[in-house]
Structure 1
Amino acid sequence: MRFNTSTLLSILVMLLGGLLLWHADAFLGDYQIYIIKLIFINAILALSLNLIYGFTGMFSLGHAGFMAIGAYVAALCVLTPEQKEMMWILEPIMPPFDQLFTPFWIAVLAGGLVSAVVALFIALPVLRLGDDYLGIATLGFAEIIRVLLTNMTPITNGALGIKGIPEHATPVTCYIWMLITLIVLARLLFGNFGNVLRCIRDNEIAADVMGINVFRYKVLSFCLGAFFAGVGGALLGSHLSTIDPKMFNFLLTFNVLMFVVAGGLGSLTGSLLGAGIITVLLEWLRILEEPMTIGSLEIPGVPGMRMVVFSLALMGIILFRREGIMGTRELTWGKLVARFRRHPEGGRA
């Protein structure tokens, strides 16, 4: 790694962000901290799906399934044996899961690894499909995973889900995992590996003719995206402190897809912006689901109205700004420094 101006500025900003989050309790309330953690988790999920869809061109709708695997594996790792014995009331928990107990960081890593392994078994038969067929197949596998979690009661506690998960997903922890995801993907995608993925995305036949092992690279991209989806699911489970199979439905994948499309397919910066902006707006628009009084007019709350608004917004983005906020562009220090050097007096030419 070359420690040029851009690298040093990035390190400085990352350290400053970590320092601010370390003392976030002093100037932010619980709800603001909740939103900040959710933004970091959603950013991880958006980055992982953008790798699969935006950079490799694989239309996958199975992200919720990988998130579910990561969440359940991490929860089984961080719950104490005593908690598991009390919680599994329908059927006793199966050995060796009853005695499994690890630190949180190892649990998150385990959630990502198990998701990647499951993704490998899914990828081998499915990634030979393309376009809409791939989306339908991955959606089917996500639904299979959800049904298995509902019925594997000795391991997952069935439809009751898992409650009382320790809240180890602090703002700093979520921030560090988001940075790990961003740095790993940036190092891969802004090199030869990323060039190969873009070639496959733009013209798979041409990539094959050039001697690229298309299937191998697609499998690697799919499994790496699933790994970080599992990490995001593990953090989400700890953040919410409770999980159940109903959480991991198609709507969850749709939300992540919305982050990616709004930010820009093929842009890591776009994924971060899309996750941040939409997460804040989704929370802010909860007001639409509550009763409102405007003068003498009383408007009853409509559950789900915020998702209707965002569905319309997504349709608008697809129709009028298909490339999203950033398109395929990235926001880099080099561009900012060059702009500052050209206009050192606040932007005047």
Structure 2
Amino acid sequence: MTETTTVTGGIPAQPGPREGAYPLPAGSEETRVDAGERTGEPSGAAAAGPDGQGTRGGQDAYGGSPGVIAGAGPVTRPGERATLRLREGADENHGGHGGHGGHDGNDGNDGNDDRAGGHDGGEEPARYAPEWLQLREPADADARAADLLDPLRDRLAALPDREGGLVVHDLGCGTGSMGRWLAPRLDGAQHWVLHDRDPYLLHFAAVASPRSAADGSRVSVETRRGDVARLTPDALTGASLVTASALLDVLTREEIEALAAACAGAGCPALLTLSVAGRVELAPADPLDAELTEAFNAHQRRTGLLGPDAVTVACEAFAERGMTVRLHPSPWRLGPEHAALTAQWLRGWVGAAVEQRPELRERAERYLAERLAACEAGELEAVVQHSDLLALPRPSGGAS
């Protein structure tokens, strides 16, 4: 079981496990989820609520009303001292991009992104805070590289017609933000297979998934609980597209190579968004910015994870397997209108840096207090660099 300890000086590098209920987005409806090895039956079936008791699918399964975040993490108010909560053995990446949590995580990676599936942390899956994933979703949507969609659409349009339309595998789906962004931007019927190891997030992703594609065609969804780091080519049989958000930087070299091999073996494109690039630009600048950036990047590379090196490794892995790779920057651009997200990201970013380099703590506490005050006053801007990667199988004729 993951333990939580509290010491002075920051906030969780990864917004922590789910605490309390989480409502569905306004306007979301229940969506069919296939049975079998899948989790959740939101379509009117009794679903397990946060307390483990049977409740109805849809909003009642999560409690609250749209627009309300229940069980949100700690908030530092004027005059209060920030606290740094460290989750032992936790994947801090979601705090990295934006505070991971996954990833959608990593910077705080949907996680990545929204990545809640990944390395095993014990018998129970790590549960990343849905509050964090909801908070970062609009910034993720604005950041993703829309320029990569045209070459992806061209490749998907060239696929043979199949009954049921496109089959899209969303790896480490978290609350499903990638599907909510991408499905309405693609034409034709789609069937989304959502992969994650957290059944709570899988259930949310299923019931909050989009119902229609760009041209009004039907979108259906199923969930598969499992560790995406152990994905095999067989799992992608029949796939039209593999996608993920805030995932790559919480993988090891071996896992990225396995992912590239699985996509190449299945002959399907991969659209992998919002991988941290290891660069942060804050305005106004501060002398401690560079040290914290270096420490945070080192923190992301702990235990064999690739962190900001992941995109380079992924490019090489896909290219070595005969796929054409395109990269595009996808930065978060955070201004006064993103004050809540910026504050959470700052806490996570500084917290991870201090965990990596404890000697920074005293200076980092002052830095964080000053940055949070500037954020509250609308005087802070941040650019958190990410990269989006599109890998396309080469047609049999050899053209790219």
TM-score range, shorter chain: under 0.3
Q: Which has the higher contact order (CA 8 A, sep 6+)?
A: 1
Bigger helix share = 1
TM-score (norm 2): 0.25
TM-score (norm 1): 0.27
Bigger strand share = 2
Over alpha carbons, which structure has the higher Rg?
Answer: 1
